[in-house]
Amino acid sequence: MSDSDPQRADFVVVANRLPVQQSMSQGNEEWRPSPGGLVSALTSVLQSRNGLWIGWLGVSEHGDPPRTYEGIRLKAVDISSEEYENFYLGFSNATLWPLYHDAIRAPTFHRTWWQTYEEVNMRYATAAAEAVAPNGTVWIHDYQLQLVPNMLRELRPDVQIGFFLHIPFPPSELFMQLPWRREIISGLLGSDLIGFQVPHVASNFSRIARRLLGATGTDSILHYDGRIIRVGAFPITVDTAQIISMASDPKIRLRAREIRRDLGNPEVMLLGVDRLDYTKGIQQRLKAVTELYADGSLSGDKHVMVQVAVPSRESDAHYDLERHSLEQVVSEMNGDHSLVGSPVLHYLHQNLPFDELLALYLAADIMLVTPFRDGMNLVAKEYVTCRTDQTGKLVLSEFAGAAAELRGAFMVNPHDLEGIKEAIRLAMKAGPKEAKARMSRMRRKTLRRNVYDWAQSFLAALQQGSQDRTPTETHDASPSPSG
């Protein structure tokens, strides 16, 4: 593409994955939306800005990828199978993912993984540099691409660069373990605006940037290398209008009733919906529910649980192990407590259509969201959003970013098995009046903003930053919309 190429886009999103992936349907290969929070959030924003999305297509190498998806232009970045091992399974998933999630699993550090992380980040940066129009805007996403901002700045100093981290950013005590800690911070500081899910995570970053690289300034405005970098919290959320409208669809409401009927019209239906990931606390949650069956707080004829564990990172041996040990817990729970014809736990290791997911949310009396650490957690917000009649109860981990907003939930420390059991007992005991008060408190907060506001507030702060890019600036104007 040349500088004046009309193919160049004013607005470019760079993310690890493209928003589509290949799957088999009745013997045919087809392209479907990739699962996960990012796709749901960004598709609509790009549609309205005629944008271009740069990312990797996934492991499948069959068939031509689509050039557009739902009106968005796509540009694929190639990753070889060796790079996939080192960059994706290695540095992204076995170094950064556990390190940034409280080191729930020990992070592994390998120099070859790091070298490939640098090389692959450069490929994304080059693709973005080629695709973006003069003075355009590039929005880079997530932990796999933390070097891209500075690499892109060196290639294209004219563009505005925003970076958003979907997962937590660890406190200094953990981050300092990383042998390439300076490089990661310097990579991120190539941005004009760095967004995080919650304010204390944004502060973790700014403190480390001051300490490690000698950046100056406040938690929300850093000065480094003669530039100003804004740092703030931009809590992601869901497409509230779409969810509310779907939740009133008679077909989905009927499906919710069918689900309850198929479960034997239980007194209480508990629900968990997560990507199958060790950070989500699924096993711990199921152990808590199993103990409630064992101590008689729950009984097989009145209470039933559905756990959806969406297949995720299936080519990763650690995730395969996680699946097997989770399924061991599932089978023990059912083996010990089910009645003939009515299992206590219905376990679905499937990626469901969103309609079906919504019907499950509508059918459930108690939603269990108990990650050990989570950047935000959109499942919790989806559940709250769709409960338009103010019923339903949410048990929520205090270590999910969503906990800062959903104060009406029954909060738990997800490491505390007794605490999870107690929260479920309390949720079951809470009468309709208390449940309604809690749910309406959560809905008031959640319905204030939707995913468009999230993206707009990030992009507006990025725009604002570029308008007053003067190194002499001294005022502290936090870009945080979260207050």
Site string for ligand GDG, 271-290 (x = CB under 6 A): --x-x---------------
> Per-residue b/e over 141-171, b at no fewer than 16 CB within 10 Å?
bbbbbbbbbbbbbeebeebbbbbbbbbbbbe
Gyration radius from the chain CA atoms: 23
The residues in 149-178 that bind ligand GDG, with binding defined as CB under 6 A, are 166-167
Which listed range, 20-28, 144-152, 224-232, 345-353, lies at the site for ligand GDG (CB under 6 A)?
Answer: 345-353
The verdict on 376 binding ligand GDG (CB under 6 A) reads yes
Q: Does 354 participate in binding ligand GDG (rule CB under 6 A)?
A: yes
- The residue among 5 and 30 lying less far from ligand GDG, judged by its C-beta, is 30
Tokens for 374?
A: 């989570």
DSSP 339: B
| Shortest Cβ 37–ligand GDG spacing (Å) | 3
- Total residues at interface with ligand GDG (CB under 6 A): 24
- CB atoms near residue 471 (< 10 Å): 9
229 is an interface residue for ligand GDG by CB under 6 A: no
Whichever of 312 and 463 has its CB closer to ligand GDG, that residue is 312
Nearer to ligand GDG, 36 or 66 (CB): 36
Task: Give the residue from 482, 468, 483 showing the smallest Cα distance to 230.
Answer: 468
Selection from 237, 197, 149, 215 nearest residue 480 by Cα: 197
In the range 398-427, which residues lie near ligand GDG by CB under 6 A?
none
Q: Shortest Cβ distance from residue 182 to ligand GDG (Å)?
A: 25
Q: Considering only CA atoms, which of 416, 311, 310, 307 is closest in space to residue 369? A: 307
Instruction: Report the half-sphere exposure of 468 (CA within 13 A, side-chain side).
Output: 12
Helix axes 199-213, 181-188, angle to 10 degrees: 110
Which residue stretch of 11-19, 377-385, 390-398, 463-471 sits at the interface with ligand GDG (rule: CB under 6 A)? 377-385
> Which segment (258-266, 338-346, 368-376, 463-471) binds ligand GDG by CB under 6 A?
368-376
Which range, of 52-60, 292-300, 351-359, 469-477, touches ligand GDG by CB under 6 A? 351-359
- Should residue 382 be labelled a site residue for ligand GDG when binding is judged by CB under 6 A? yes
220 touches 478 (CB < 8 A)? yes
Q: Is 453 in the site for ligand GDG (CB under 6 A)?
A: no
Amino acid at 217: G
Q: Nearer to ligand GDG by C-beta: 312 or 334? A: 312
Q: How many CA atoms lie within 13 A of 107 on its CB side?
A: 22
Contact assessment for residue 164 and residue 114, using Cβ atoms and an 8 Å cutoff: no
Judged by CB under 6 A, the chain residues 27 through 56 that form the site for ligand GDG are 35-38, 40
Provide, rounded to whole angstroms, the least separation between the CB of residue 281 and ligand GDG.
12
Closer of 132 and 194 to ligand GDG (Cβ): 194
For residue 154, list its beta bridge partners.
none
Quote the least distance from Cβ 166 to ligand GDG, whole Å: 4
Question: What is the C-alpha separation between 363 and 241, in angstroms, rounded?
Answer: 20
- 374 in contact with ligand GDG (CB under 6 A): yes
Among 375, 408, 479, 481, binds ligand GDG (CB under 6 A): 375
Range 324-346 burial, b when 16+ CB lie within 10 A, else e: eebeebbeebbeebeeeeebbbb
- Residues binding ligand GDG (CB under 6 A): 35-38, 40, 166-167, 236, 273, 275, 308, 310, 351-354, 357, 374-379, 382
